[in-house]
Chains A and B, each alone.
Chain A
Amino acid sequence: MLAHLVCAISLLVAYVLQTTIVSQTPLVNGTADLILLFFAAWALNERVQNSWLWAFIGGLMISMLSAMPFYVPLIGYLGVVGIAKLLRRRVWQAPILAMFIVTLLSTLFQQFIYVVALQVNGAPIAWGQALDAVIFPSVLLNLIFALPMFALVNDLVGRIYPLEVEA
């Protein structure tokens, strides 16, 4: 129950920070995505059990608030959790490295989905311009924010699920 509560509050905080601060401080035209980073760090943690559920809820919430086509943020965030779950088993000895790899792959995946969805909906977006102006700067910003977000979420998870000490 506590994990659900913490996840909901963290998502709300991340959303508010995203729309009020992070989205207003772009690098070229790209911005960091705190919600993506939160889901990546949350899903990478082995003790967390509810990452799929909250990726679904968060994706729906962002879909309703964003101007993107309805299904796109949902697919994007579910993809983030999927990538994180996939890599968690493979790079389990170096969680920070896993966080960087998940951030890189999931940002590329999400932005790819966004561009395709916008193109399907008639927006005249060229791939070259999208890569130069938005995708690469966004990847860079997400990689910069990945480490503090990972540390924050790890600390949060450590408080919610304390390690069991063997007698």
Chain B
Amino acid sequence: MKFLNGKNVQTIVIVLAVAGLLFLALSGYLTPVFNLTLNPLVSFESWMSIRYLSARDFLTAPRDVTQLREQNAILESQVTQLQTQLIQMEEQLGEADICFALLDFGRTNPQYEYVTATVIGREISPFLQYIIIDKGSDDGVQYGMPVVTQQGLVGTVDAVIAAASRVKLITDSTSVVNVLLQTADVEAQSYGSLTGDVSLDMIPLDSLVEPGDVVLTSGLGGNYPPNIFVGQVLSAQKRDNALFQTASVQPIVDFESINAVLVIMNFEAVDISPLVPE
């Protein structure tokens, strides 16, 4: 019975106690006890962890935000610069397109000498259809010179100063242009209006005018050179008691968005007003 001495009994008791506790724990009997003791621990651990992480973020994050803000500012600056460059290049591209188109018109009409001008303003009064261009008498522009674009007829120079000129558009209510209806091969007159619409008058009644007919300058009267594109007929009107037909015209030039024009330099307008009987 030497085996059952005090020390061994103590060991056996401890082993049995541990085994018993393990058995109780594995069988779930100790869960309330664990909850009671571990939950506060976990809660405290969680609380501590959150505070630590917060403190760490507080100490480290500002440095990152500052760096990010600096990088963001640099990138935004670069984006702004690139956008500015893009806008400038688009503008240059647009100007180049206009110049190429005007050059193309000049090549197809080599009999005339041109000066290219930029539209810098419009008439103050809304009743009048005039534009202001950046070429004047210093560049050889004179009163009465015809003004065109690559598309067709714009108008005529109405007033000139040293560095600018005022151009009366064919859409102005006082503009009259002698024109030729190409398909019908008849001459007529185009009139502007208050609203900027262009119409034809003085078309003989026996002429067949149809939508789509091309309208060109006839050169009659000496104000404009012949065969410059004016527009196309939209519709023709024939009244019962009228002496002539009338027609609406869609101008080929978009006068709302006109940016650059060509002034025909070697065409001298003929003033036939002394020959017109009063």
Count residues of A near B (Cβ-Cβ below 8 Å). Answer: 33
Task: Out of B120, B191, B194, B196, name the residue touching A125 (CB < 8 Å).
Answer: B194
Q: Given A29-B194, A124-B173, A133-B195, are A67 and B126 also a contact pair (CB < 8 Å)?
A: no
Q: Is the CB of B173 within 8 A of A66?
A: no
Q: Which of the 9-residue segments B127-135, B226-234, B246-254, B270-278 touches chain A?
A: B127-135
Task: Out of A68, A122, A130, name the residue touching B128 (CB < 8 Å).
Answer: A68
Count residues of B near A (Cβ-Cβ below 8 Å). Answer: 22
Complex Cα gap A20–B131 (Å) = 10
Complex Cα gap A112–B56 (Å) = 77
Majority SS at the chain A contact face: helix
Majority SS at the chain B contact face: loop
Interface check A129, CB cutoff 8 A: yes
Q: Given A29-B195, A129-B195, A133-B194, are A66 and B174 also a contact pair (CB < 8 Å)?
A: no
Complex Cα gap A126–B127 (Å) = 11
Complex Cα gap A73–B124 (Å) = 10
Q: Given A19-B132, A134-B127, are A122 and B174 also a contact pair (CB < 8 Å)?
A: yes
Complex Cα gap A123–B171 (Å) = 12
* B-contact bits for A59-88, CB 8 A (1 contact / 0 none): 000100111100001000000000000000
Interface check B125, CB cutoff 8 A: yes
CB-CB under 8 A from A121, the residues of chain B are: 174
CB-CB under 8 A from A73, the residues of chain B are: 124-125
Task: Out of B120, B130, B191, name the residue touching A67 (CB < 8 Å).
Answer: B130
Q: Given A122-B174, A125-B173, are A67 and B195 also a contact pair (CB < 8 Å)?
A: no
Q: Which among B120, B121, B125, B195 has the greatest number of chain A C-beta atoms within 10 A?
A: B125
Q: Is the CB of A118 within 8 A of B126?
A: no
Interface check B123, CB cutoff 8 A: yes
Q: Is the CB of B194 within 8 A of A130?
A: yes
Interface check A158, CB cutoff 8 A: no
Q: Is the CB of B124 within 8 A of A33?
A: yes
A-B contact count (CB 8 A): 74
Interface check A154, CB cutoff 8 A: no
Q: Is the CB of A18 within 8 A of B124?
A: yes
Interface check A143, CB cutoff 8 A: no
CB-CB under 8 A from A67, the residues of chain B are: 123, 125, 128, 130, 158-159, 166, 168
CB-CB under 8 A from B158, the residues of chain A are: 67
Q: Given A67-B158, A118-B173, are A20 and B194 also a contact pair (CB < 8 Å)?
A: no
Complex Cα gap A125–B166 (Å) = 22
CB-CB under 8 A from B51, the residues of chain A are: none
CB-CB under 8 A from B132, the residues of chain A are: 19
Q: Which residues of A contact B (CB under 8 A)?
A: 15, 18-20, 23-24, 26, 29-31, 33, 35, 62, 65-68, 73, 111, 114-115, 118, 121-126, 129-130, 133-134, 138
- Interface contacts beyond A20-B120, A68-B127, A118-B128: sample of 20 additional A-B pairs, CB < 8 Å, sorted by A: A15-B124, A19-B124, A19-B132, A23-B124, A30-B126, A31-B126, A35-B124, A67-B123, A67-B128, A67-B158, A67-B159, A67-B168, A68-B128, A73-B125, A114-B127, A122-B174, A123-B127, A125-B127, A125-B194, A133-B194
